């Protein structure tokens, strides 16, 4: 499925391929569609707010082959400007065949397409970090970061989100985390000493690496951008029922924060600026 929006005939269009690594709760699927559809509706609004406005074209594919998905090929992605990898119930540090296949695809894209953009959320954030040699593992405390959470911004984060505030607020739903940002020494040759650095844009007490940024190349977020209250409650409940989250009191408290306002639109805007500079006048 491909969804597209163009504000006017002169607008540039960001062509994004969403790699769906999970499926939403059936009720969310009915109300809002697949994760790819949710991404499209989130990003077309960010395109409207861009200076000048941008169009968005989003294609999507469910890629968990063990559950009937199909992994795209390098050739399938040639017409696109970049990818977004969604969150997942799977572990980004796992050795599942489809995860290894995904890493092979990402490596080919990274090495053959220097113009290509890599974006990811939650699992997507972690798998891109793993691609570049970073360690991904469960939090040492063993607990989950859940619900509406504050993220402390580094200076690069303040620039990315065009804010002078020292925090943003997003919904979290993870136990695994990226331990430290990728470095050239551990990247297997994918990063160079004289190239742009991969920077951490934010942190929290639970997770030091809340997101990664590399100029004109990648943007990732551990937290979710497009969750609404119903999605927060449903996704938490799904993980409780599956036995992944065992601290029910923590889960209940997190679910009660689902209605709180978050900064997902600011993060979507920052991702759009990865593809096209935004001439809004802020240095």
**Mean pLDDT in residue range 10-19:** 94
How many folded domains does the chain comprise? 1
Residue in 119, 106, 81, 116 with CA at minimum distance from that of residue 222: 119
Per the domain annotation, does 166 fall within a domain? yes
Q: 276 falls in which pLDDT band (50, 70, 90)?
A: confident
* 133 domain-assigned: yes
Domain assignment of residue 71, yes or no: yes
Domain at 200, CATH number: 3.40.50.880
- Whether residue 21 is contained in a domain is answered as yes
The predicted pLDDT at position 12 comes to 93
Q: Is residue 19 part of a domain?
A: yes
- What digits encode the pLDDT tens for the residues 144-179? 898 899 999 999 999 999 999 999 999 998 899 999
Asked if residue 221 is part of any domain, the answer here is yes
Q: Are 207 and 145 spatial neighbours (Cβ–Cβ below 8 Å)? A: yes
109 is a domain residue: yes
pTM of the full predicted structure? 0.93
In angstroms, the CA 23 to CA 50 distance is 29
Q: Is residue 216 part of a domain?
A: yes
Mean pLDDT of 124-135: 98
CB atoms within 10 A of CB 189: 8
The predicted-structure confidence for 242-255, as pLDDT tens digits, reads as follows: 778 777 777 778 77
Domain span at residue 54? 2-275
Task: Show the DSSP H helices in 57-145 as ranges.
Answer: 74-77, 97-112, 123-131
Is the bond preceding residue 32 a cis peptide, omega within 30 degrees?
Answer: no
pLDDT of residue 269: 92
């Amino acid at each position: 499925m491909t969804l597209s929006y163009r504000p006017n005939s002169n607008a540039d269009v960001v062509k994004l391929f969403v790699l769906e690594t999970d499926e939403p709760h059936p009720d969310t699927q009915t109300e809002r569609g697949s994760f790819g559809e949710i991404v499209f509706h989130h990003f077309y609004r960010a395109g409207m707010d861009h200076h000048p406005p941008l169009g968005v074209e989003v294609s999507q594919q469910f890629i968990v082959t063990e559950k009937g998905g199909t992994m795209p090929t390098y050739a399938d992605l040639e017409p696109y400007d970049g990818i977004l990898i969604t969150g997942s119930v799977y572990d980004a540090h796992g050795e599942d065949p489809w995860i290894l296949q995904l890493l092979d695809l990402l490596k080919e894209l990274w090495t053959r397409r220097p113009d290509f953009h890599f974006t990811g959320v939650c699992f997507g954030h972690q798998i891109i970090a793993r691609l570049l040699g970073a360690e991904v593992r469960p939090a040492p405390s063993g607990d989950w970061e859940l619900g509406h959470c504050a993220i402390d911004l580094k200076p690069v984060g303040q620039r990315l989100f065009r804010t002078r505030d020292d925090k943003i607020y997003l919904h979290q739903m993870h136990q695994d985390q990226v331990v430290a940002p990728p470095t050239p020494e551990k990247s297997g040759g994918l990063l160079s000493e004289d190239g742009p650095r991969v920077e951490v844009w934010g942190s929290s007490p639970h997770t030091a690496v809340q997101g990664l940024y590399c100029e004109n190349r990648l943007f990732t977020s551990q937290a979710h951008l497009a969750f609404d209250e119903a999605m927060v409650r449903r996704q938490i409940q799904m993980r409780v029922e599956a036995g992944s989250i065992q601290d029910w009191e923590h889960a209940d408290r997190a679910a009660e924060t689902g209605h709180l306002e978050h900064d997902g639109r600011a993060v979507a805007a920052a991702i759009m600026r990865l593809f096209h500079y935004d001439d809004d006048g802020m240095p």
